[in-house]
């Protein structure tokens, strides 16, 4: 950027000097031209007539000849990315603005996405869009001011993928605790591959390792890394993939900030560990990977446990398991002894139950008999009471019951007439009588028993 500033200052100085000389020359030529024009106008009565197309073409040739290539600094506004791939925008400062266009063949080389409000430095040509007569800047190179172009591109892609949810923890796969086959997608000649192979071989000798060669620097490295990742996913019995390289500048590591590579890592069927550069180097690949290792060596240590440490851990767990089983056996033996002490002979238990059943049966029979006797006595008393209330008892003492032939009880002489026949119920017999005389008003004292 310092070099660009120096070139810009030099260009401004040269342009100023050139413009001064050209201005003086132009003024002299203009004065001479005017004098010649006056002379010609005196000689010729008809002025020269331009068509609109010729005028715009002439102005375009003049501008392009006057400004072959210039650097312009300004703020982007009215930015539009057309469906054709071309970029149309304007540059402005505090006092003026100018239209600009950057065609697809040039803007595809940009490592960042231009946005409104971004301060940029562009190199291009001043030209005229003849159909409308508008002059504009034909942009060939664009660089952001302030933050570096790579940092801006990194921040833009990071924000874009974050909004899509590619960094979400729930989308990340777990790393196998004891992988049997590891694929390394990296350069086969770099220091990173040697470090990882040394660590893996030292920590677990029986581990199967497959190196998938790929470019890790340069314009072709993203495609190479994506192809290596796809090839690793197709290998049989692979448990985990490590993708990465050793340290370097941001430009050296830039292939790991490629959007297509990031999406390939996120969509990998196998878990991916990113191991790019040093701990301070953070790439897009680190963010989308299932696990980020600070260095390639650290990735090898994370993916494979040390065989000696695993053996010690297994011995400790084995000892703990033996103690736990022994304690459980002792507990069960104690429980069994307690059950044996409280266990009763089933035959003795059965005899006790039979005896108990007999006792309950006798008590039931006794209770039933007592209940029947009590109820019999109550029934007899009730029968005696009912019998004492029976009309036949009264008749037995010498009284009788008189009824008419239609069965009505005769209580008064007023119910009878002379000549009526009645039925008289005695204690054991019944007689039929005819009323020959009625005597009313007789009191009980008038009868003698």
Confidence bin at 2 (pLDDT 50/70/90)? very low
CATH superfamily placement of domain 166-305: Succinyl-CoA synthetase domains (3.40.50.261)
Measure the CA angle with vertex 347, ends 346 and 350; round to 5°.
Answer: 85
Residue 362, CA atoms < 13 Å, CB-side half-sphere: 5
Strand-pair category, 272-276 with 291-292: parallel
Instruction: Please tell me the predicted confidence (pLDDT) of residue 13.
Output: 41
Instruction: Please tell me the predicted confidence (pLDDT) of residue 46.
Output: 65
Report the distance separating Cα 151 and Cα 182, nearest Å.
33
Phi, psi for 75 (deg, rounded to 5): -105, 135
Q: Are 126 and 67 a contacting pair, CB within 8 Å?
A: yes
- pLDDT 10s digits, 166-214: 999 999 999 998 899 999 999 999 889 999 999 988 888 888 999 999 9
- pLDDT 10s digits, 130-173: 888 888 899 998 888 765 677 888 888 899 999 999 999 999 99
Residue 372, CA atoms < 13 Å, CB-side half-sphere: 6
Q: Are 263 and 225 a contacting pair, CB within 8 Å?
A: no
Confidence bin at 26 (pLDDT 50/70/90)? very low
- pLDDT 10s digits, 84-125: 889 999 999 989 999 999 999 998 888 788 888 888 889 998
Task: Give the predicted TM-score (pTM) of the model.
Answer: 0.48
Instruction: Please tell me the predicted confidence (pLDDT) of residue 358.
Output: 86
pLDDT beyond 60 at 220:
yes
Share of the chain residues as helix, strand and coil, in percent rounded to the nearest 5:
50, 20, 30
Instruction: Please tell me the predicted confidence (pLDDT) of residue 119.
Output: 85
- pLDDT 10s digits, 309-363: 777 888 899 989 999 999 999 999 988 888 877 776 777 778 888 888 988 998 9
Instruction: Please tell me the predicted confidence (pLDDT) of residue 4.
Output: 38
Instruction: Please tell me the predicted confidence (pLDDT) of residue 6.
Output: 39
pLDDT beyond 60 at 11:
no
User: By mean pLDDT, which of 171-185, 293-307, 351-365, 384-398 is the weakest?
Assistant: 384-398
Confidence bin at 36 (pLDDT 50/70/90)? low
The mean predicted confidence, pLDDT, of the chain is 82
- pLDDT 10s digits, 245-257: 998 888 889 899 9
DSSP 3-56: HHHHHHHHHHHHHHHHHHHHHHHHHHHHHHHHHHHHHHHHH--SPP---HHHHH
User: By mean pLDDT, which of 140-154, 270-284, 361-375 is the weakest?
Assistant: 140-154
Q: Where are the domain boundaries for CATH 2.40.50.140 in the chain?
A: 2-152
User: By mean pLDDT, which of 198-207, 270-279, 286-295 is the weakest?
Assistant: 198-207
Instruction: Please tell me the predicted confidence (pLDDT) of residue 340.
Output: 78
Confidence bin at 449 (pLDDT 50/70/90)? very low
Q: Give the percent of the chain with pLDDT over 90.
A: 34
Instruction: Please tell me the predicted confidence (pLDDT) of residue 34.
Output: 46
222-246 mean pLDDT: 94
The verdict on domain 2-152 having CATH code 2.40.50.140 is yes
Instruction: Please tell me the predicted confidence (pLDDT) of residue 16.
Output: 39
User: By mean pLDDT, which of 23-32, 39-48, 320-329, 394-403 is the weakest?
Assistant: 23-32
Measure the CA angle with vertex 181, ends 168 and 209; round to 5°.
Answer: 110
User: In this predicted model, which residue has the larger pLDDT, 193 or 21?
Assistant: 193
Report the distance separating Cα 283 and Cα 192, nearest Å.
17
Report the distance separating Cα 160 and Cα 158, nearest Å.
5
Q: Where are the domain boundaries for CATH 3.40.50.261 in the chain?
A: 166-305
For residue 170, give the DSSP letter.
G
DSSP 277-303: SSTT---HHHHHSSEE-SSHHHHHHHH
Looking at beta carbons, which pairs linking 315-319 to residues 24 or more positions away fall under 8 Å? none
């Amino acid at each position: 950027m310092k070099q660009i500033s120096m070139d810009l200052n030099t260009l401004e100085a040269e342009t100023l000097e050139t413009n001064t000389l050209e201005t003086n020359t132009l003024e002299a030529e203009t004065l001479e031209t005017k004098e010649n024009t006056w002379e010609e106008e005196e000689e010729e009565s008809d002025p020269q007539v331009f068509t609109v197309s010729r005028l715009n073409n002439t102005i375009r040739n003049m501008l392009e000849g006057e400004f072959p290539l210039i650097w312009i600094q300004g703020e982007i506004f009215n930015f539009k990315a057309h469906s054709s791939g071309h970029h149309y925008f304007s540059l402005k400062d505090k006092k003026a603005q100018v239209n600009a266009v950057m065609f697809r063949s040039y803007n595809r080389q940009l490592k960042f996405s231009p946005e409104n409000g971004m301060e940029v430095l562009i190199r291009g040509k001043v030209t005229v869009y003849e159909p409308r007569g508008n002059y504009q800047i034909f942009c060939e190179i664009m660089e952001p001011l302030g933050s570096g172009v790579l940092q801006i591109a990194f921040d833009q892609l990071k924000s874009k993928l974050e909004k899509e949810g590619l960094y979400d923890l729930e989308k990340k796969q777990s790393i196998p605790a004891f992988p049997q086959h590891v694929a390394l997608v990296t350069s086969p000649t770099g220091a990173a591959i040697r470090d990882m192979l040394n660590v893996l071989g030292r920590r677990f000798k029986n581990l199967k390792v497959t190196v998938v060669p790929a470019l890790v620097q340069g314009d072709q490295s993203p495609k190479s890394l994506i192809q290596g990742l796809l090839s690793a996913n197709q290998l049989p019995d692979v448990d985990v993939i490590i993708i990465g390289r050793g340290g370097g500048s941001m430009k050296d590591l830039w292939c790991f900030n490629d959007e297509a590579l990031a999406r390939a890592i996120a969509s990998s069927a196998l878990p991916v560990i990113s191991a790019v550069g040093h701990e301070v180097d953070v790439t897009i690949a680190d963010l989308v990977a299932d696990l980020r290792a600070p260095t390639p060596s650290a990735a090898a240590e994370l993916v494979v446990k040390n065989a000696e440490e695993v053996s010690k851990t297994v011995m400790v767990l084995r000892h703990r398991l033996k103690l736990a089983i022994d304690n459980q056996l002792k507990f069960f033996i104690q429980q069994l002894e307690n059950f044996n002490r409280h266990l009763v002979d089933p035959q003795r238990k059965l005899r006790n139950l039979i005896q108990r059943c007999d006792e309950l049966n006798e008590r039931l029979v006794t209770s039933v008999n007592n209940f029947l006797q009590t109820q019999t006595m109550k029934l007899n008393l009730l029968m005696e009471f009912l019998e004492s209330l029976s009309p036949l008892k009264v008749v037995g003492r010498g009284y009788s019951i008189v009824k008419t032939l239609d069965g009505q009880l005769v209580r008064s002489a007023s119910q009878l007439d002379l000549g009526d026949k009645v039925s008289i119920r005695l204690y054991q017999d019944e007689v039929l009588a005819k009323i020959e005389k009625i005597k009313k008003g007789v009191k009980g004292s008038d009868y003698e028993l």
